[in-house]
């Protein structure tokens, strides 16, 4: 079909809301290549170049030429929301089917059937959904005008552990017409990734590759090993940066904690992660409209989030790869003459990225456990049914079945909510890929640790790592941010961490299948479950966590400071009706550690200490049980009541809490034997400590 240059430029100006806008180098050539249908195209251009303009303008021109709808595979909901808004400005009717808009699915499917949709945005996981493939994709497959694969580096092995379902794209391409227009876009593709993409997208793939340099972005690295030093640095310098930005953390816990710290300093900050839920859109808009100084975010706010005037991107810890870092820091300074990209480096980051590397693939033992469990279940097993049969965390079991199902041919398939074995065997190729990618991740991790040590040439280093040509890279006209911080803010950061506590929400259901020795299953009656409780800190954090670790691992006794801190926490918490006595979880390994602490806490709170719980026998440590079902069964029958249980509300004390099953079973025994409400209190949470 003919390409109309003037109309394409008109659409660009509508989409950018700039009546004087002109195409950047390569944009119009990419649009024309797609519209003319001369072959599959990969566009590799830096963040902010305008890749979305290419596919939306091409979609509009194809639709006006009488062709069918386009499909855009996009990895993140934040990115989809940005894209739908941009498409609407050009008059492109964009809709999405994703996990957060289930109420709209039926209407979207009907609009597709009526040919009232110009472009459908989906996540790669949608391709694994049988209903979507058969009821949505199959009826329109013959008239799809364009398949767009955004963040196409995820197709490569390099992107494996970000979104494994990108591997489905290769299967889908085999079922689509051979002359289908395909446009893949990414900002990060080195030579090895380009080779991977050619394998999937075809040997006749045309590659349009631009410069990766970002002359508006001033990059710098600052090493402050301690968490409180970096918190103090943020509180010192973020208020002085003109404009708003993003502070990236490696964990959800850090995102919440850092946002709370900045709020306590009068800085408008909010946390944003995969757990933000319904507030995501509200927070994205708050940042877009400069109503917050910063979003403290995980990678959930990552690729494709488009705020042209983002003034800074600061990393609280070093990411695990150049790809991740370039994608995230590239959010800043797209339409500004100068912006800051600061990488703070801390002592904990290697442990966190180690965890991500080690959890990218299941172990041979975990895979063998899953396959053995399915071998004996002709009707298949759900994830919850696999949990008591396989000693692996729920996340690792989900990862195992997901990756096994993506093999070709797959050794397991999903049938409704159940996973079943097929006739195919898992080959050694799976493990060879796992070993190769693990080695690659280690090399990337080391590459980023070397980047941290740079004193200059940061952008050139990133470009070389991505196999680009750094050339002469100009520097923006702004001063680097100082490495120093207000020492008083460091002391206040410690105080802040020690002042906060964590909620401890009660379990409301017994594990799937129940507990045999307690003879319970299903819902836990409200009168027999623990009340909402409190945890003083996170194991080994910069507040009280280090002191807890020292007491348990080195001293064999918890410090008096922890007694005072817990007493203060209880007084602030003030549960009602107030506790009338105090007891604790016993241990056969550390006979006096928790009772000694509980006795001193009872004295500080002026409560009687009544050690009415005892262990029945030796069980493996809960930390050796890898998932909730295993942990629940490990504590089933391990506790019993010794002596008479006093009447009245009780404070139930333990040193560590992870799965909450020990506290749940203890509360069940106490309330069943006549106690009042049970308020659990733990010194430290070890839940997801490795994460």
Could you read off the pLDDT of 398-432 as tens digits, one per residue?
989 989 998 888 999 998 889 999 999 999 999 99
Q: What is the pLDDT of residue 650?
A: 98
**303 pLDDT higher than 80:** no
pLDDT band, residue 690 (cuts 50/70/90): very low
Task: Give the helix/strand (H/E) hosting 494.
Answer: helix 487-499
**124 pLDDT higher than 80:** yes
Q: Report how far residue 35's alpha carbon sits from residue 29's, in angstroms, rounded to the nearest whole number.
A: 10
Do the Cβ atoms of 108 and 97 come closer than 8 Å? yes
Q: Answer with the residue of higher pLDDT: 109 or 168.
A: 109
Q: What is the pLDDT of residue 160?
A: 52
Q: Answer with the residue of higher pLDDT: 490 or 334.
A: 490
Closest CA to 589 of 555, 563, 552, 559: 552
In CATH, the number for domain 217-350+452-493 is: 3.40.50.300
Q: What is the pLDDT of residue 54?
A: 95
Phi-psi region of 599 (alpha: psi -120 to 50; beta: other; left: phi over 0): alpha
Cα-based distances in Å from 599 to 29, 314, 604, 615: 76, 45, 9, 18
**631 pLDDT higher than 70:** yes
Q: What are phi and psi of 128, to 5 degrees?
A: -85, -5
Tokens of 371: 């396959």
- Which residues does 142 contact at the CB level (< 8 Å), separation at least 6? 177
Q: Report how far residue 274's alpha carbon sits from residue 277's, in angstroms, rounded to the nearest whole number.
A: 7
Q: Report how far residue 173's alpha carbon sits from residue 368's, in angstroms, rounded to the nearest whole number.
A: 32
pLDDT band, residue 335 (cuts 50/70/90): confident
Q: What is the pLDDT of residue 158?
A: 55
**228 pLDDT higher than 50:** yes
Q: Report how far residue 141's alpha carbon sits from residue 671's, in angstroms, rounded to the nearest whole number.
A: 60
How many CA atoms lie less than 13 Å away from 302 in the CB half-sphere? Answer: 21
Q: Report how far residue 548's alpha carbon sits from residue 554's, in angstroms, rounded to the nearest whole number.
A: 10
3-state SS, 261-272, equals HHHHCCCCEEEE
Q: Report how far residue 98's alpha carbon sits from residue 600's, in angstroms, rounded to the nearest whole number.
A: 53
- Which residues does 430 contact at the CB level (< 8 Å), separation at least 6? 403, 404, 407
% of residues, the chain, pLDDT over 90 = 63
Mean pLDDT, all residues of the chain: 90
Q: Report how far residue 2's alpha carbon sits from residue 32's, in angstroms, rounded to the nearest whole number.
A: 9
356-380 residue pLDDT tens? 888 888 999 999 999 999 998 989 9
Residue range 661-685: average pLDDT?
97
**688 pLDDT higher than 60:** no
β-bridge mates for residue 175, sequence order: none
How many CA atoms lie less than 13 Å away from 442 in the CB half-sphere? Answer: 7
**646 pLDDT higher than 70:** yes
Cα-based distances in Å from 203 to 29, 40, 199, 491, 619: 20, 10, 7, 59, 58
Closest CA to 384 of 397, 375, 372, 365: 397
Q: What is the pLDDT of residue 336?
A: 93
Q: What is the pLDDT of residue 626?
A: 79
**289 pLDDT higher than 80:** yes
Q: What is the distance, to the nearest Å, from the Cα of residue 132 to the centroid of all Cα atoms in its chain?
A: 25
Closest CA to 287 of 316, 267, 310: 310
**506 pLDDT higher than 90:** yes
Q: Answer with the residue of higher pLDDT: 31 or 690.
A: 31
3-state SS, 360-372, equals CCCCHHHHHHHHH
Whether the CA torsion 574, 575, 577, 583 is positive or negative: it is: negative
Residue range 28-55: average pLDDT?
92
Q: Which CATH superfamily is domain 5-209 in?
A: P-loop containing nucleotide triphosphate hydrolases (3.40.50.300)
Q: Answer with the residue of higher pLDDT: 559 or 136.
A: 559
Q: What are phi and psi of 303, to 5 degrees?
A: -60, 130
Q: Which residue has the tokens 């929400």?
A: 505
Q: What is the pLDDT of residue 157?
A: 65
Q: What is the pLDDT of residue 213?
A: 87
Strand ranges (DSSP E) for 29-180? Answer: 41-44, 70-73, 94-97, 119-122, 146-149
Task: Give the helix/strand (H/E) hosting 614.
Answer: strand 613-615
Euclidean distance between the first and the last CA atom of the chain, given in angstroms as a whole number: 52
Whether the CA torsion 440, 446, 447, 452 is positive or negative: it is: positive
Q: What is the pLDDT of residue 314?
A: 98
Q: Report how far residue 460's alpha carbon sits from residue 198's, in angstroms, rounded to the nearest whole number.
A: 26
β-bridge mates for residue 185, sequence order: 43
Tokens of 241: 């940066």
**533 pLDDT higher than 70:** yes
**435 pLDDT higher than 50:** yes
Q: Answer with the residue of higher pLDDT: 687 or 279.
A: 279
pLDDT band, residue 689 (cuts 50/70/90): very low
Q: What is the distance, to the nearest Å, from the Cα of residue 512 to the centroid of all Cα atoms in its chain?
A: 26
Residue range 501-685 forms a domain whose CATH class is alpha beta
pTM for this model (two decimals): 0.82
- Which residues does 65 contact at the CB level (< 8 Å), separation at least 6? 1, 2, 35
The neighbour count for residue 68, using CB atoms within 10 Å, is 18
Task: Give the helix/strand (H/E) hosting 383.
Answer: helix 383-386
Tokens of 337: 């003459």
Q: Report how far residue 12's alpha carbon sits from residue 2's, in angstroms, rounded to the nearest whole number.
A: 18
Residue range 356-433 forms a domain whose CATH class is mainly alpha
Closest CA to 29 of 19, 17, 41, 20: 41
Do the Cβ atoms of 394 and 383 come closer than 8 Å? yes
Taking each helix axis as running N to C, give the angle between helix 349-358 and helix 428-452, from 0 to 180 degrees, rounded to the nearest 10: 170
Q: Report how far residue 510's alpha carbon sits from residue 133's, in angstroms, rounded to the nearest whole number.
A: 36
Q: Which residue has the tokens 């999903």?
A: 414
pLDDT band, residue 56 (cuts 50/70/90): very high
pLDDT band, residue 132 (cuts 50/70/90): confident
Q: Report how far residue 328's alpha carbon sits from residue 347's, in angstroms, rounded to the nearest whole number.
A: 21
Q: What share of the chain is helix, strand, coil (3-state, %, to 5)?
A: 45, 15, 40
pLDDT band, residue 75 (cuts 50/70/90): confident
Strand ranges (DSSP E) for 76-193? Answer: 94-97, 119-122, 146-149, 181-186
Phi-psi region of 333 (alpha: psi -120 to 50; beta: other; left: phi over 0): left
Q: What is the pLDDT of residue 83?
A: 76
**232 pLDDT higher than 70:** yes
The neighbour count for residue 108, using CB atoms within 10 Å, is 17
Whether the CA torsion 342, 348, 349, 352 is positive or negative: it is: negative
Q: Report how far residue 666's alpha carbon sits from residue 161's, in angstroms, rounded to the nearest whole number.
A: 39
Domain with CATH 3.40.50.300 in the chain: 5-209, 217-350+452-493
Closest CA to 325 of 491, 224, 461: 461
Tokens of 150: 């955004």
% of residues, the chain, pLDDT over 70 = 97
Q: What is the pLDDT of residue 691?
A: 30
Do the Cβ atoms of 653 and 594 come closer than 8 Å? yes
Domain with CATH 1.10.10.10 in the chain: 356-433
Closest CA to 575 of 529, 530, 509: 530
């Amino acid at each position: 079909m003919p390409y109309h240059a003037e109309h394409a430029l008109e659409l660009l100006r509508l989409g950018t809301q700039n009546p004087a806008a002109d195409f950047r180098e390569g944009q119009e050539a990419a649009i024309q290549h797609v519209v003319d249908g001369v072959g599959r195209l990969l566009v590799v251009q830096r963040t902010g170049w305008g890749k979305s303009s290419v596919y939306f303008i091409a979609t509009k021109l194809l639709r006006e030429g009488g062709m069918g709808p386009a499909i855009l595979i996009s990895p993140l909901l934040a990115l989809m929301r940005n894209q739908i808004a941009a498409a609407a400005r050009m008059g492109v009717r964009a809709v999405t089917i994703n996990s957060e808009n289930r109420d709209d699915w039926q209407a979207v499917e009907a609009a597709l059937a009526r040919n009232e949709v110009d472009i459908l945005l989906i996540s790669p996981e949608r391709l694994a959904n049988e209903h979507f493939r058969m009821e949505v994709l199959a009826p329109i497959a013959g008239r799809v005008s364009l398949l767009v694969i955004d963040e196409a580096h995820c197709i490569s092995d390099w992107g494996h552990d970000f979104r494994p379902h990108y591997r489905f794209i290769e299967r889908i391409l085999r079922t689509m017409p051979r002359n289908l227009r395909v446009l893949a876009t990414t900002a990060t593709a080195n030579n090895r990734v380009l080779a991977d993409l050619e394998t999937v997208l075809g040997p006749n793939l045309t590659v349009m590759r631009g410069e990766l340099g970002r002359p508006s972005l001033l990059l710098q690295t600052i090493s402050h090993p301690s968490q409180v030093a970096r918190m103090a640095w943020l509180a010192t310098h973020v208020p002085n940066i003109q404009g708003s930005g993003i502070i990236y953390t490696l964990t959800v816990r850090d995102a919440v904690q850092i946002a709370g710290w900045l709020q306590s300093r009068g800085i408008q900050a909010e946390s944003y992660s995969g757990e933000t839920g319904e507030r995501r859109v509200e927070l994205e808009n708050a940042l877009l409209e400069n109503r917050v100084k910063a979003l403290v975010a995980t990678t959930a706010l990552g690729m494709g989030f488009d705020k042209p005037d983002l003034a800074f991107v600061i990393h609280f810890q070093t990411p695990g790869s150049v790809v991740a870092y370039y994608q995230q820091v590239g959010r800043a300074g797209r339409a500004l003459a100068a912006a800051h990209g600061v990488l703070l480096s801390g002592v904990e980051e290697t442990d966190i990225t180690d965890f991500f590397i080690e959890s990218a693939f299941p172990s041979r033992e975990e895979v063998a456990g899953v396959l053995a469990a399915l071998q004996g279940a002709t009707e298949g097993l759900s994830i919850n049914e696999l949990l008591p049969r396989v000693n692996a965390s729920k996340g690792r079991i989900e990862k195992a079945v997901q990756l096994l199902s993506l093999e070709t041919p797959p050794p397991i398939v999903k049938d409704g909510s159940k996973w079943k074995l097929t006739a195919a065997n898992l080959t050694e190729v799976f493990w060879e890929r796992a070993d190769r990618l693990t080695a690659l991740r280690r090399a990337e991790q080391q590459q980023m640790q070397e980047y941290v040590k740079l004193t200059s040439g940061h952008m050139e280093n990133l470009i070389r790592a991505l196999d680009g040509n750094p050339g002469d890279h100009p520097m923006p006209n702004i001063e680097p941010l100082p490495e120093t911080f207000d020492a008083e803010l460091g002391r206040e950061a410690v105080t802040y961490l020690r002042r906060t506590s964590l909620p401890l929400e009660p379990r409301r259901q017994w594990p799937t299948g129940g507990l045999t020795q307690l003879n319970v299953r299903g819902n836990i009656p409200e009168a027999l479950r623990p009340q909402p409780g409190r945890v003083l800190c996170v194991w080994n954090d910069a507040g009280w966590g280090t002191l807890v670790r020292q007491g348990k691992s080195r001293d064999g006794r918890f410090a008096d400071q922890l007694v005072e801190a817990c007493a203060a926490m209880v007084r602030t918490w003030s549960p009602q009706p107030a506790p009338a006595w105090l007891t604790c979880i016993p241990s056969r390994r550390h006979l006096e550690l928790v009772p000694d602490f509980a006795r001193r806490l009872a004295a500080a709170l002026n409560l009687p200490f009544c050690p009415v719980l005892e262990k029945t026998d030796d069980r493996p440590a809960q930390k050796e049980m890898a998932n909730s079902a295993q942990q629940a069964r490990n504590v089933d029958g391990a506790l019993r009541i010794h002596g008479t249980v006093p009447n009245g509300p009780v404070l139930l004390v333990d040193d560590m809490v992870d799965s909450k099953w020990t506290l749940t079973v203890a509360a069940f025994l106490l309330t069943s034997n006549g106690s009042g409400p049970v308020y659990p209190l733990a010194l430290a949470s070890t839940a997801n400590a490795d994460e």
